[in-house]
Structure 1
Amino acid sequence: MTANVEQLEFQAEARQLLDLMIHSVYSNKDSFLRELISNASDALDKLRIEAFRNKDLEVDTSDLHIEIETDKDARTLTVRDNGIGMSRDEVVELIGTLAKSGTGELRQQLREAKNAAASEELIGQFGIGFYSTFMVADKVELLTRKAGENNATRWVSSGDGTYTVETVDDAPQGTSVTLHLKPEDAEDQLHDYTSEWKIRELVKKYSDFIAWPIRMQVERRTPPAEEGGEETVTVETQTLNSMKALWAKSQDEVSEDEYKEFYKHIAHAWDEPLEVITMKAEGTFEYQALLFIPSHAPFDLFTRDAKTGVQLYVKRVFVMGDCDELVPSYLRFIKGVVDAQDMSLNVSREILQQDRQVTAIRRRLTKKVLSAIKDMQSSRPDDYRKFWTQFGAVLKEGLMSDFENQDTILRVSSFASTHSDEELTTLADYVGRMKEGQKQIFYATGQTRDQLRKSPHLEAFKAKGYEVLLLTDPVDELWVGAVSEFDGKPLQSVAKGEVDLDSEEEKKAHEAEREEAEREFADLLSWLKDVLGEHVKEVRLSTRLTESPACLVTDAFGITPALARMYRASGQTVPVGKRILELNPKHPLITGLQQAQKSRPADDPSLKESAELLYGTALLAEGDVPEDPAKFASLLAQRLAGTV
């Protein structure tokens, strides 16, 4: 071995380190090409900056580019650039990072990068991403010459315990990495890294928006012009990446069709975007974003494995798809790209770290999207209605989790109400229509709008002209417990707690009447409580009923039956509290039952059956079913038989 060639041995644990990089960190071995292209792009960026900084540096920056070359016969793949290059010392320091670190040190760095903002950017250490090449190669050769220097450096390793570093005299400026690919697997044609289509696929997927051209020479064969002639083979250089980072341009520089095509490409969608949102942040955290609100909800929007549609780029290099750290779950329908200049990542660029940088970007993106929805609501009502139909239910999930933006979400939300059979209303519009003296926003939850309109709980509200929100999405049962008020007006369920809609004058006028009714029905209320004690915690006269004989209500802070069913369906155990049976003292059924209770023995079976039928009809009226449907049906059939 010549004097300028240095052979070094890996530390005892180096092989273990290499296995960690190859098998544990990188989930997809296609990642190696992304890493090499990213490193090449960084080298070109550094050369351009250094050329501006150092006017004495004699370098040609007129055609900075990345080149990919394959040799199918030799089974080699080369990625080269004419960027800044490296000195011998830098090669040893950077490429040897893995070799020098030791297993314990690197593992500690990995833990720090996963749990907190690491003290230094692991992804910026060339040697770490570089070692992903051993996922696909038996031997890796690196040849590099730093801009402004005469000598070059060759680094070679088979990843088997040793590597060599050699000084050479003749090499172009920049860096080339040649992979001697592992033997071809006849059963795995999808990973043939010498094929043109595979290289095109990976560049398109991971590096399409790199600012520098990525070139490759390709053969084109032309059939013979005459029978018996020879085909013509020509070699042409093609640029594989589009270099079109639409998010880096202002909106007036991009056509509507370009936005539509880009949306369809990244979202794998057939529809057109309902809204285009652009962002550019400068200062402490520099990033650009191009986001889209789809016009149709994806089929998996409410499935457990639903993924976000935001892709993460770092300096135009694709790092991660479905990046759920950048948008909250309730905005998972958003599609688009976020391109950051500096981001804390783990060594594989595949797991974004939760740090203050990510938190700041997430907060700003969230506010920007909500602001766009608000603008749509006020200026394009037709588009807003489309949006709410598709994504309203998922947006309302944010009312339970994003307390910082809860008020904004409430303001951009729409709800059905008793005000209109067709049009939805906002809470602001509801408040604007509130009756004089009304202090609460009334709502009802249920399965359908029609069912709620016929609910006994709404009778007094309709009679007195109070508007009630009709909430029919499953998420409504949850968020109403997390939202206490809007514009200073508390939210009140029409089916929970006591309801008193009378004015002060009406209370005074009806006070004597109420006291008389309570005395008159005291025995009936007490008797029903004894008979139905297994089902109800209390029986009282109602102020919310005007037509129906009875209804069931929940305590002011109790869990509704619908909410309890949702919890049980998700595997959670919740206590099933008894509810309150309210009676309409003016209904013939109640007055008749009162007379029967007074005139018959307390243990009369027929009288007890009447009480059970009353309770069962109250359940049916709110869309629920009796605890024992067969028994209820039998009792009802017997009563009907007696009237035929």
Structure 2
Amino acid sequence: LIPHYLNFINGIVNADNLPMILSRVLFQSNTILKAIREIIVKSIFEMLEEFSKDYEGYIHFYLYFKEKLKTGFINDSCNRWKFSKLFRYHTSKSDGTMISLSDYVYRMKEQQQYIYYMTGHNWSDMENSAYVEMLMKKDLEVIYMTDEIDEWCLEHLQDFDGKTLMAVNSVDLVLPQDDDEVQTFKQNETSLKNLCSFIKDIVEEKVEEVVVSKRMVTRAACIVTARGALSGNKKRIMNLKSLSEWHNSDGIRQTYTNKVILEINPSESFIRKLQDQLNGDSCELLMKVDVQTMCDSAMFDAGLLSDVHLFSELLLKKMYAVVSNFNKEMNTKPDTL
């Protein structure tokens, strides 16, 4: 009488008009049973919506049955709006509590157009991510989605209450900017055009494009997801579940390829140093090691780094270069000790 994703609900239905004998086929197609099913599902949603007003009780229930609710959201297209009102998330402003999407929309800034979210393994890690730095600076709230099933829910949860959901690690991220910020960004794009091309030539096998970022404050670089590509978190989940590979009709093994974009922070000291070195007479080999290390570090943060051993070798090369330069400087200037 109830959908499988609501099978945690138990009860008794008292109806006078049910036929005494029904085959399995007739049981599933009986119009009275269909009507009863619709009434039961409607009553369950009304009960859950009323229950959700009790924060502590509902959160205890939600943490236990959230996967059932999210499975229902994916499978039951007619009731997705009702399911989405039952979801609860940690956010950058919720101080460890969980809020609904309705609460988020109510708390949005006056000119805010989007519901910002991020998917990941746990909300404490996302809180320290490069992707949320500028949103934090602008006092914009970010929803942290930590359940694996959230990645599949997002294929259907594209807007809520007239507001579009936007991933903070997407290439399409839109942030509110004043005229000065827009002008500064355009100037940075022009001044760093050659550096972006230089970096792209070095890491072209790993990234599709290198661009100037508007989402970072303190980090040098980050990896963002290209349009239509898997997010780093979804790729991680699929790898864990061995879903990243399959065989086509010819029996040839196929893998999901992630198209990613490397964004660089124009105000970060490391990027400014690379720009100065590119315009100067610095060792190109050392610059390449710096760029590769920066790119792999950003890939690691995004959960997309596949060759950890190569990354460790790059770090060792970088450490060796730093120590060599330090020793050389100490030999020429022994009084500095």
- In the alignment, structure 1 residue 480 sits paired with structure 2 residue 154: yes
Shift of 1:641: 3.5
Distance in 2 separating the partners of 1:355 and 1:611: 67
> How many percent of aligned residue pairs carry the same amino acid?
29
Distance in 1 separating the partners of 2:159 and 2:226: 19
Q: Which of 608, 622, 630 in structure 1 is aligned with 2:288?
A: 608
State the partner residue of 2:176. 502
Distance in 1 separating the partners of 2:304 and 2:154: 24
State the partner residue of 2:301. 621
Cα separation, partners in 2 of 1:345 and 1:605, compared to 1, 3 Å: farther
Distance in 2 separating the partners of 1:450 and 1:565: 18
State the partner residue of 2:260. 579
Q: Which of 98, 116, 120 in structure 2 is aligned with 1:446?
A: 120
State the partner residue of 2:186. 515
Shift of 1:355: 5.2
1:201-226, Cα deviation, whole Å (9 max, x unpaired): xxxxxxxxxxxxxxxxxxxxxxxxxx
Larger Rg over CA atoms: 1
Q: Which of 372, 377, 381 in structure 1 is aligned with 2:47?
A: 372
1:536-588, Cα deviation, whole Å (9 max, x unpaired): 11110111101111111112443213323444626464632311111100111
Q: Which of 110, 116, 121 in structure 2 is aligned with 1:436?
A: 110
Shift of 1:478: 1.0
Contact kept? 1:585, 1:591, Cα under 8 Å: yes
Shift of 1:611: 1.6
State the partner residue of 1:528. 199
Which structure exhibits the higher relative contact order, with contacts defined as CA atoms closer than 8 Å and separated by 6 or more residues?
2
- In the alignment, structure 1 residue 470 sits paired with structure 2 residue 144: yes
- In the alignment, structure 1 residue 639 sits paired with structure 2 residue 313: no
Distance in 2 separating the partners of 1:629 and 1:420: 35
Aligned-pair RMSD on alpha carbons? 2.4
State the partner residue of 1:167. none
Contact kept? 1:549, 1:583, Cα under 8 Å: yes
State the partner residue of 1:396. 70
Give the 5 Å matches for 1:38-77.
Answer: none
Contact kept? 2:119, 2:146, Cα under 8 Å: yes
Q: Which of 399, 403, 406 in structure 1 is aligned with 2:80?
A: 406
Shift of 1:591: 1.1
Distance in 2 separating the partners of 1:474 and 1:363: 29
State the partner residue of 1:175. none
Shift of 1:467: 0.3
Give the 5 Å matches for 1:292-303.
Answer: none
State the partner residue of 2:38. 363
TM-score, normalised to structure 2, is 0.84
Contact kept? 1:532, 1:612, Cα under 8 Å: yes
Q: Which of 526, 530, 537 in structure 1 is aligned with 2:208?
A: 537
Distance in 2 separating the partners of 1:361 and 1:636: 65
Cα separation, partners in 2 of 1:431 and 1:343, compared to 1, 3 Å: farther
Cα separation, partners in 2 of 1:599 and 1:450, compared to 1, 3 Å: same
Give the 5 Å matches for 1:123-134.
Answer: none
Distance in 1 separating the partners of 2:295 and 2:21: 61
| Partner SS for 1:466 | coil
State the partner residue of 1:78. none
Q: Residue type of the partner of 2:196?
A: L
Shift of 1:496: 0.9
Q: Residue type of the partner of 1:520?
A: S
| Partner SS for 1:536 | coil
Unpaired segments ≥5 residues, structure 2: 247-254, 324-337
Q: Residue type of the partner of 1:634?
A: E
Distance in 2 separating the partners of 1:510 and 1:468: 21
State the partner residue of 1:246. none
Distance in 1 separating the partners of 2:167 and 2:270: 26
Distance in 2 separating the partners of 1:354 and 1:524: 66
Distance in 2 separating the partners of 1:535 and 1:434: 37
TM-score, normalised to structure 1, is 0.45
Q: Residue type of the partner of 1:410?
A: S
State the partner residue of 2:276. 595
Q: Residue type of the partner of 2:317?
A: Q
Give the 5 Å matches for 1:163-242.
Answer: none
State the partner residue of 2:7. 332
Shift of 1:391: 1.0
Give the 5 Å matches for 1:412-423.
Answer: 412-423=86-97
Contact kept? 2:221, 2:294, Cα under 8 Å: yes
| Partner SS for 2:126 | helix
Shift of 1:338: 4.5
Distance in 2 separating the partners of 1:541 and 1:343: 71
Shift of 1:334: 2.3
| Partner SS for 1:397 | helix
Distance in 2 separating the partners of 1:479 and 1:582: 27
Distance in 1 separating the partners of 2:163 and 2:128: 26
Distance in 2 separating the partners of 1:443 and 1:338: 41
State the partner residue of 2:98. 424
Count of residues in correspondence between the two structures? 311
User: More displaced, 508-517 or 434-443?
Assistant: 508-517
Distance in 2 separating the partners of 1:591 and 1:397: 48
| Partner SS for 1:551 | strand
Contact kept? 1:499, 1:543, Cα under 8 Å: no
Q: Which of 223, 227, 235 in structure 2 is aligned with 1:552?
A: 223
Shift of 1:350: 10
Shift of 1:438: 0.4
Q: Residue type of the partner of 1:635?
A: L
Cα separation, partners in 2 of 1:578 and 1:479, compared to 1, 3 Å: same
Q: Residue type of the partner of 1:627?
A: S
Distance in 2 separating the partners of 1:477 and 1:438: 24
| Partner SS for 1:441 | strand
